[in-house]
Structure 1
Amino acid sequence: MHMLNHKSIFCLVPRFLGAAMGALLTVIQPVHNYSTIVKRINSSHHCPSINKLVDETFAQLHVIRRIKFYHLICQKNSPNLLCFHDDIHICLCYDHQGRRLANCFYFDHQMKFDCFGKNYCEHNGQCFQDSPDCPKRSICVCPSCYYGTRCQFTTSEF
């Protein structure tokens, strides 16, 4: 999960459903302290590479020259495009005062889910922390048939 600002949060699932899918945008909503979110993920949540949305000449421009036109990508593909990415950013498309805009921010596509080498999750659970510098909270995302705060329990024996 990532904070967009103090009022909203989003959840992005990288490399979900196989590497060919890339990233999927699952939730954008106002921040709530505690909530359970149930969301059916489908292909419309796919965040395609910018290379699939623009011509090769535009895609090869330096990021500084390119990023100022990212709003146009959202406008051209409106309203179906929720998000897209380049090599170093993830961009969310949204409506603001009647215009379709892009909100882009740095995203580490190569991020390892091991809490920076201190993964306490069992059974190959993926570990996420709230900050890379001085984390205060960690959470394990468990594989199928495992559950618990550290993925320490299984249902496979039933």
Structure 2
Amino acid sequence: MADEVQSTEQDRLERLRQLLSGQRAQQRAGRALALGQGAYANVLLGAMLHGADRMRQNKTLTDLERILLEAVGAQLSAAETKAWGGVYREVVTAQGGKVAVLPERITRLPVAQGYAMADLRQDFARLQAEALACANVQIVSPAVVAEGGAGGPGVHRSDA
């Protein structure tokens, strides 16, 4: 496609560094990730980056990390994925384990410890409660949608 934006690996790594360090908070991607700043916001992004760091350090990946990195592998080379892990570790270390757009539940993990599907299952109830508490969440009954509506009975608005 002629209108696709081309970027280099270095461009992508720098954007990731800026995103994780909060320097991109005023840009669209930064605002989108920063909107969900609860304890479990962006948990899959965090798990993927933690997994990339573990991959970089030749650790055995967890089931969840492997799935996420396989998905990323469709767009990034193994070398670039490892570089993303390096940027993640650099920012996590520089910021004392607190990364504004990622859950401390993951950023506080040592590289020797992975984040697995079992961890996600354990954290899911809190993740779900946090998501439902967001002002922009609306759950609509499939029956209401089938009838062409988006409001009324069967709708839960978290800001109501």
TM-score scaled by length of structure 2: 0.25
- Identify which of structures 1 and 2 has the higher relative contact order when contacts are C-alpha pairs closer than 8 Å and 6+ apart: 2
TM-score scaled by length of structure 1: 0.26
More helix by share: 2
